[in-house]
Amino acid sequence: MSAPSETYAAIDLGSNSFHMVIAAVTDGRIQIIDRLKDVVRLGAGLDNKNRLDDATSERAIECLQKFGQRIKDIPSRNVRAVGTNTLRQAKNSNAFLKKARQALGHPVEIISGREEGRLIFSGVSYSNFSDSEKRLVIDIGGGSTELAIGKGNQAQLIESLYMGCVNMTSKYFPEGEISTKKMRKAILFARQELESIELIYKRTGWDTVFGSSGTIQTIRDLARNSGDDPAIRDEGLDKLKDAVIDAGHFKNLKFPNLDANRAPVLAGGLAILLAIFDALEIKSMQVSDGALREGLLLDMIGRQKNQDIREKTVEELISRYGIDRQQAGRVEQISALCFEQLQQDMNLNPETDIKLLRWAARLHEIGLAIAHSQHHKHAGYLLNNSELAGFSREEQNYLALIVRSHRRKIAMEELESLADDTRQKIRHLIMLLRLAVVLNRSRAGHSYKELKISYKENRIKMKFPDNWLSTHPLTEADLALEVDYLKTLKVSLEFS
């Protein structure tokens, strides 16, 4: 008998279009049951100061309200929404994200370009799976272009370049006019962007090339007007370029299968793909139906099935920076013990917040790879500025802040900048990690199974077994120092 199906929704707030895919999952089988798309052109709403204008923001919020109505009955744990290049660039993205959360009914995470590339590769691989074949996957979005090489569903080499069909069109075809000179300049710019990666990509090599998302699918449809070839070929691209230039303006593009919403940004996307074909000496490209939202869907399902890529990322950091695994394990164990006793009093999520605390415990000494002095600050810098597969930008910032604050002065300015609900959660996780670090400062591996800890009205009470503190005077002294540090969080610490 089959298990009941669960419904999931993955939402991609792209620089050109917003996409949502809804799927039912039964016994591990994924069935797409609905797709929604709206051409928002978020990237075109950035002004010369990289601020998102009001009209574009309102258009985006209206779209998210529609999406929100469609998924209002799906559990929050089964919904994930991500923003890409435009929201990475926008100076006022935080204000937009607050409105977006209210409209959609779920938070929107901003992901890095490389994380976007990883998810795209996963989505393409799911739609066109092969264990043995090494693939180059290319995705031209509205504001960025991702290129990834890998096998199976694991990308090994990922790059994200700041050029997409929207910003390229705005820069080189601003009034909609298309000419040989404008196209040449656009292609040259794209070649310059590719220059730093083309050698390593060609050396790495691939067996097949796949393209994904709307720009490449549109170009495939236009380039094969003369036949039924499902692939994009170099000669077809050249003919399409000539036809687009001959039109002279996007309004004169008369291809029978060209979506009216795609016409204004076709020239920019075509210039990018022509440059990629030239730089990487590509002769043909297959086109995949899978893309970022399918990869996001798979990643979300994997997290719930104990196949969380973030666990692998943390493990790789531990190995790369030579973190003391025994000490990390001791701090993680006590962090989890404190979490278990305080999660209700601190209103912490036993599924998501415990993961963040455990990762912070495992990584709290990562800064020692740079220097012992101020190693908590080094740790925060490393975690803030590394490419962490599976983590959104917000998750990465939270992790860095917790680890940065695990000793000495707490990074109050960063903490105060967070939204109220998030600030309270991170504040509590900082407390728990700090206490676990203090209790394991001797690195002796003491057992704290009998420790009782409570939290009420900003007061932490720790009760040790009789005579324990008198036989461990250094720990008692460390806790006494911690009393003053926690006062900055407006928390009192009592222990006996």
How much is the average pLDDT of 319-329? 96
How much is the average pLDDT of 185-200? 97
- pLDDT above 50 for 1: no
At residue 257 the predicted structure's pLDDT band, cuts being 50, 70 and 90, is confident
Distance in angstroms (rounded) separating the CA atoms of residues 9 and 146? 23
Share of residues in the chain with pLDDT > 90 (%): 88
Q: What is the pLDDT of residue 153?
A: 86
What's the sign of the alpha-carbon dihedral 454, 460, 465, 466?
Answer: negative
**Amino acid letter, residue 325:** R
Q: Is the pTM of this model over 0.75?
A: yes
Q: What is the pLDDT of residue 330?
A: 96
Instruction: Tell me which of 182 and 256 has the higher pLDDT.
Output: 182
Map out the domains of the chain with their CATH numbers: 6-110 (3.30.420.40), 114-291 (3.30.420.150), 308-495 (1.10.3210.10)
How much is the average pLDDT of 217-241? 85
SS in 3 state form for the chain? CCCCCEEEEEEEECCCEEEEEEEEEECCEEEEEEEEEEECCHHHHECCCCCECHHHHHHHHHHHHHHHHHCCCCCHHHEEEEECHHHHHCCCHHHHHHHHHHHHCCCEEECCHHHHHHHHHHHHHHHCCCCCCCEEEEEECCCCEEEEEEECCEEEEEEEECCCHHHHHHHHCCCCECCHHHHHHHHHHHHHHHHHHHHHHHHHCCCEEEEEHHHHHHHHHHHCCCCCCCCEEHHHHHHHHHHHHHHCEHHHCCCCCCCCCCHHHHHHHHHHHHHHHHHCCCCEEEECCCCHHHHHHHHHHHHHCCCCHHHHHHHHHHHHCCCCHHHHHHHHHHHHHHHHHHCCCCCCCCCCHHHHHHHHHHHCCHHHHCCCCCHHHHHHHHHHHCCCCCCCHHHHHHHHHHHHCCCCCCCHHHHHCCCHHHHHHHHHHHHHHHHHHHHCCCCCCCCCCCCEEEEECCEEEEECCCCCHHHCHHHHHHHHHHHHHHHCCCCEEEEC
Kindly state the tokens that stand for 228: 């039924």
Distance in angstroms (rounded) separating the CA atoms of residues 430 and 399? 10
Least confident range from 157-171, 249-263, 364-378: namely 249-263
- pLDDT above 90 for 292: yes
At residue 93 the predicted structure's pLDDT band, cuts being 50, 70 and 90, is very high
Q: Is 166 in contact with 267 (CB distance < 8 Å)?
A: no
How much is the average pLDDT of 266-274? 98
Average pLDDT, the chain: 94
Q: At what angle do helices 213-223 and 234-247 cross, to 10 degrees?
A: 90
Q: What is the pLDDT of residue 338?
A: 96
- pLDDT above 90 for 334: yes
Distance in angstroms (rounded) separating the CA atoms of residues 88 and 44? 14
Residue with structure tokens 């691989």?
125
- pLDDT above 90 for 493: yes
- pLDDT above 60 for 81: yes
Share of residues in the chain with pLDDT > 70 (%): 98
Q: What confidence tens digit (pLDDT) does each residue in 115-138 have?
A: 999 999 999 998 887 778 999 999
Q: Is 223 in contact with 237 (CB distance < 8 Å)?
A: yes
Q: Is 42 in contact with 15 (CB distance < 8 Å)?
A: yes
Q: What is the pLDDT of residue 447?
A: 85
At residue 286 the predicted structure's pLDDT band, cuts being 50, 70 and 90, is very high
Instruction: Tell me which of 1 and 412 has the higher pLDDT.
Output: 412
- pLDDT above 80 for 224: no
Q: What is the pLDDT of residue 225?
A: 55
How much is the average pLDDT of 238-256? 95
How much is the average pLDDT of 295-320? 92
Q: What is the pLDDT of residue 486?
A: 95
Distance in angstroms (rounded) separating the CA atoms of residues 175 and 292? 30
Q: What is the pLDDT of residue 3?
A: 56
- pLDDT above 70 for 227: no
- pLDDT above 60 for 398: yes
Distance in angstroms (rounded) separating the CA atoms of residues 200 and 409? 43
- pLDDT above 90 for 186: yes
Q: What confidence tens digit (pLDDT) does each residue in 421-467 have?
A: 899 999 999 999 999 999 999 898 888 989 999 999 999 999 999 99
